[in-house]
Every structure is written in structure tokens, then in C-alpha cells.
Amino acid sequence: MKIKTTTVLALLAAETASPASATDVFTLEGFGAISRGLGGAAVSLDVGPAGIMSNPATLSLSTDNLDPDSDSQLLIGLDIIAPNIDAYNDATGVKAASHTHSRNRGPYFAPELAYIRRSGKFTFGIGAFALGGLGTEYGKSSFLSSGLSGAPAGLDNSSRMLALDIPAAASVKVTDRLTIGGSIDAVWIGLNLGLQLQADQVGSLIGSGRVSGSLVPVLGGIPGLDAAHFGLTRNNYLLNGVDGWGLGGRVGFTYKLTPSTMIGGAYNFKTDVADLEGPATLTAVSTIAGQIPLTGRIRVRDFQMPARLSVGVTQRFGPQLLITAEYQRAFWKDAMKNINVGFEADAAGDINVLLPQNYRNQDIVAVGGAYEMGPMTFRVGARFASQATPGATLLAVVPTIPRYHASAGMTYKLGKRQAIDFAYSHAFKEKVSNDGLPNTSQPLSVTHSQNNLSIGYRLSF
């Protein structure tokens, strides 16, 4: 009955999640307030049920934070994420601020829900977490909504992506020193997108062989073509323009080198999510004929979350103090080479577009420390990452650029079996510029900083 109840709660969280603006490109910088307070480190220490998302092998560790004699533990939590994103036309100095222009975006709320149960040497768990996402809303009147002529088109430029992960995990305590674990995950990705390309961007994509289909000569033959706009957005807190389901998973281990030194590692597999599909409108904007909308179906092909390798070490200095450090390698180069879009018009005809992204693999280092004092545990952390987003392929609606974080957190025990966890992390402002076709018509810079708050309640029983 407990497992059935938790499954229902996980699915409910999946349905009510709002998107998170991610900070390691599309992925969050940690799962659960304990990990978040430590800069996102999690593979070599017990971070409670949220460890199901980082290293399932940690679920077999003896819980120091709550009653170690309990067989079950429940986590209910929430991430609140407030990004600050601005795009600049570097030729004119005009700014397009990404604010809440509609129900499409921010601030974002991401669920944290997990249940684990121990049975002898084995621990089983299920959960529902926002794996990551992004979000922008520049509205309909910024310079991003103007055609090549400078005339306003009045069409929105925005994005909202949420990746939701529902893991089912198992771990085993092989010896007093070694634990191993793994998970199989149901992964859902939903996407809203409003993207306007000026006429010279369309011409650049066609000239480089990145556009194909029967609608290409039709689009190229429109007199006074000024811009083309893809609209696949539902102006709703929950619904998305396109979405798809698939699979993911991870494996991991922990090993106690000494009574006070623990190492751990995990490998997250690249997701295998079906193409994201749904209704859309392709609008050609002409200085002569005005706006020419075509309704149809759109497919965003092979949009995946990347594989990730994590290794870490945690050192305890007595029962109160610990220091942890972790290295991660996120394989974005394989996952995000292009945004591959295919559109089929209701009135016949199709067009296929490859928007270049060419992300780099990302190296990440997370460090953190914790000090326990009575019923409270205080944490601090920092996170440093290389830049995965090349400036030459930057899109204003996909500003996945923060690299540096500082975090702090605490746990307050409510007796032996309950605890409340808090964490705050700040992503420092990062700036990336793009001065060439095809992903921008004018010299473009985007800045992005944000504040994240994670709150969790844990119950052992």
C-alpha cells in the first residue's frame, strides 16, 4: 500500500510540475536541499531519498540525519527558481528583458518527491524530480520580434522546457564497505517555443543546406519576406506545445576507504526520449503581404538529456564536520549538436530545419562542507563549470550559460524521525555573445543569473 501511494504521489507531482530554469545547461545543479547546499555534490555521501537522482548506491548508506533504525523514508520538497535573463542588440544597445509576460514562464516550481524502503541488505525507491529545463519570455515587442526591415511583427519569442524524471531504483549493501545501485527512469520532456528568424537568417540556413522540404521554394518566393516564426506554445501553466516520453537510468557505487573516508561514483545514461510532437504554426512575415500563417504538426527530433559521469570523495573529521568534493563530466557534445525541427502543414507541404548548437562537453567541480550542531546542520558549497554553449551558436531563447554557483543550507531536526531541509544557491551572472548568422541577425549578447531555493521535508517511519 505504501508503494502504491507513493507511485500515485509521484505521478501527481509529474502532472503539476512547472519548468525549472536549469543551471548546468539544461540540468539542475543538484537534487534535494542537502545536495544543493553542498554545491550539488551527492555521489559519495548520504543525501537522503534525493540520492536516487544522483547515485542510487547512496540509498544503502546508514542514515545519519534521521533514525537509522527506520525501514522507510519519505521526501517531499520543492525547488523555487527565479532567473534573471536579458538579451542585448549589441549594434544598438537595445535590451530585451525576459520577464513574466504570460503564463508561459517563471518563477519556476520544480517538484522533489521520493520514497525509499530498506529490506535487509536491499533498499528500493521511487521518486519524481524535475531533471532540468529552461525558460525565457521576451514578449512580442522586443527587437527579437522585428523583421529584417526593422518592422515589428508582434510575434512572441519565448521558450519553456521541462524534463521530468521518475526513477525506480534499487541498491544493495554488498559488504560493510561497498554499496552498489541502479535505476530505470521514465523520462518526459515538454517544450514550448516561440522563435522568430529574420529573412537573412532563413537565407543563411538555406544556403548552408540546413533547410529542406517542399515548402522551401514557397517560403523563398514570398515577396518582401521579412521573417519566419515558429510558434509551438500553449499559454498555460501546465500544458506544452510538444512533448514525448522515453527512458533513462543510472548506476553507481560507494566504497568506504576508511571509517572516515568515502568515495563514490555514478554514471547517468543519455536519455532515449521519443521525438517531441504537437500542433504548431509557421508564420511567414512579409513587408508586402503581411503575415501568412500555416497551421500543422511539428516534430522536434532527438531532443535528449546527456550522459554524465560523476566521481567524488567525502572526508569526515569527527562526528560533526565533513568535507566533500566531486567532479562531473556532462557529455553535451553528443546530445546537443542541432535543434532538429520538422513541420508538416495541414494544407500539405513540409519543411525541415537544423538549427546549429554544437555544445561542448562540460567539466564541473562541486565542493561543500557541513557542520552539525545539536538539532541543526549547516552547509556551504560552491560549483564551477566550463562553458558548454558556444557563442557562435547562441540563441536568445536558449540561454543555457551560467557556470559559477555559491550555496548555503541547513537541516533542522524535528525530533528523531522528522527534518526540514533548506538550501539557497546563487548562479552568478554570465554573459555570452554571438555576432553572426544563422542564429542571430544582429550582434547579440545574453546575460543570465538566478536564485534558487530548495525546501524539503523528510520523514522516517
pLDDT for residue 106: 60
Give pLDDT, residue 100.
67
Q: Under DSSP, is residue 382 helix (H, G, I), strand (E, B) or coil? A: strand
Cα 258 to Cα 68, 263, 315, 445: the distances in Å are 20, 10, 9, 49
What is the predicted pLDDT for the residue at 102? 57
Distance of CA 119 to the CA centre of its chain: 33
- Give domain 2-460's CATH number out of 1.20.120.350, 3.90.105.10, 2.40.160.60, 3.40.50.300: 2.40.160.60
Residue 454: its H or E element:
strand 444-460
pLDDT of residue 2: 41
122: amino acid identity, one letter: F
Q: What is the pLDDT of residue 1?
A: 37
DSSP state of 26: T
Rg, Å, the chain Cα set: 23
What the block records as the C-alpha cell of 392 is: 557562435
CA dihedral 115, 426, 186, 15 (to 10 degrees): 80
Spatial distance between the Cα atoms of 352 and 83, rounded to a whole number of angstroms:
32
The ranges assigned to domains in the chain are 2-460
CA dist list (Å): 84 to 35, 160, 342, 384, 447: 23, 15, 31, 19, 8
Do 239 and 257 contact (CB within 8 A), yes or no? no
Q: Where do we find the cell 520532456?
A: 189
With the C-alpha atoms ordered 36, 37, 40, 45, is the resulting torsion angle positive or negative?
negative
> 306: closest CA among 447, 187, 403, 211?
187
Whole-prediction pTM = 0.92
What is the structure's pLDDT at 23? 61
Q: What are the respective helix, strand and coil percentages of the chain, to the nearest 5?
A: 10, 55, 35
Identify the pLDDT of residue 13. 45
H or E, element range at 4: helix 2-16
Residues 6+ apart with CB under 8 A from 117: 2, 3, 71, 72, 123, 124, 125
Would you write out the chain's pLDDT as a tens digit for each of its 461 residues?
A: 344 444 444 444 444 444 445 668 889 999 999 999 999 999 999 999 999 999 999 999 965 456 677 889 999 999 988 889 999 999 999 999 998 665 555 677 888 999 999 999 999 999 999 998 888 999 999 999 999 999 999 999 999 999 999 999 999 999 999 999 999 999 999 999 999 999 999 999 999 999 999 999 999 899 999 999 999 988 776 678 999 999 999 999 999 999 999 999 999 999 999 999 999 999 999 999 999 999 999 999 999 999 999 999 999 999 999 999 999 999 999 999 999 999 999 999 999 999 999 999 999 999 999 999 999 999 999 999 999 999 999 999 998 899 999 999 999 999 889 999 999 999 999 999 999 999 999 999 999 999 999 999 999 98
Contact 241, 192 (CB under 8 A): yes
pLDDT at 281 (0 to 100): 97
Q: Which long-range contacts (CB under 8 A, 24 or more apart) does 216-221 make?
A: 216/351, 218/349, 219/284, 219/351
